Amino acid sequence: MTRRSSSGQTPGARLEAELRAAIARGDLRAGDVVPTTAALAATHGVNPNTVSKVISRLKDAGILTGPAGGRTRVRVQPRQVTRSNDRYHEEKARVLLPTAERASYGVAEADTGQLVRELHEDIYHYEVVSGPADVREILGIAEDDRVLKRTYTRRHAAGAGVSMSISYLPYDLVSQNPDLLEARREPWPGGTMHQLYTVGVELGRIDDHISASMPTAEEQAQFDIPTGVPILRIRKISYDIDGRAVEVADIPLSAERTELIYRTPLERW
């Protein structure tokens, strides 16, 4: 028989309410380690199995986080990401602006409204590689041709999950401007469109191919995604005005915190 308190709550429901209240009051703050199962059981006078079930429910709800068998923490809540295809029009419009104006607005601002300088972590990794076969096929380059692979990793706060994107550009194209091969020059004012502009490329079209799948165990830990939440996988392909693919980017986003907005202007009859 399940025991209930004088308020009619089961021990599990009471413990869950008390943990939620402690987080709301700030007694347990984002990033704090939650007491062990044994400690919670003793403090709240409940069975350890009940504690485990409550912790699992709060993890599924995105309130707590941590690997099974490891330490549980209060989850640093992710920032909402809103991606609209309007962003591409705005990015192209900024290409010809002065450097200071280009530098005032970028991907972080467009997606989350957060300034780049406010990010807890902003890491850029560049490497010249042969590239995946599917990327080479899209870019129309040979097997022995190389690509510039750029991995962007950002964290909005200490202890938060990361956001990430991986971009591939034909090495023969971007190497025309040696500055484009230097990660230390990031964040680049005006982003990729301006980088391509410096080697004579004007973008004429961007296609976003969107699919969804469950995260790998590594992705779930890296992005700090609750159990059961899928990843939206955006493959962004940028074409120049002659229809040549000049960039392929893979952008994984947690479905829990992502809104995609697509506006399609319709010509009048």
Q: What is the pLDDT of residue 218?
A: 94
The Cα–Cα gap between 165 and 224 comes to 16
Q: What is the pLDDT of residue 1?
A: 38
Burial readout 117-147 (b: 16 or more C-beta within 10 A, e: otherwise): eebeebebebeeeebeeebbebbebeeeebb
Q: Which CATH number fits domain 11-74: 3.90.700.10, 3.40.640.10, 3.40.50.2000, 1.10.10.10?
A: 1.10.10.10
Task: Give the model confidence (pLDDT) of 48-85 as tens digits.
Answer: 999 999 999 999 999 999 988 789 999 999 999 999 99
Place of tokens 């347990």: 28
Query: Domain extents for the chain?
Result: 11-74, 81-261
Say if residue 116 is exposed, middle or buried (CB neighbours under 10 Å; 0-12, 13-18, 19+): middle
Place of tokens 């300034």: 115
Task: Give the model confidence (pLDDT) of 157-189 as tens digits.
Answer: 999 999 999 999 999 999 999 999 999 999 999
Q: What is the pLDDT of residue 8?
A: 67
The Cα–Cα gap between 137 and 139 comes to 5
In the chain, the N- to C-terminal Cα span, in Å, equals: 70
Q: What is the CATH number of domain 81-261?
A: 3.40.1410.10
Q: What is the pLDDT of residue 4?
A: 53
In the predicted model, residues of the chain with pLDDT beneath 50 are 1, 6
H or E stretch covering 33: none
φ/ψ of residue 84, rounded to 5: -120, 145
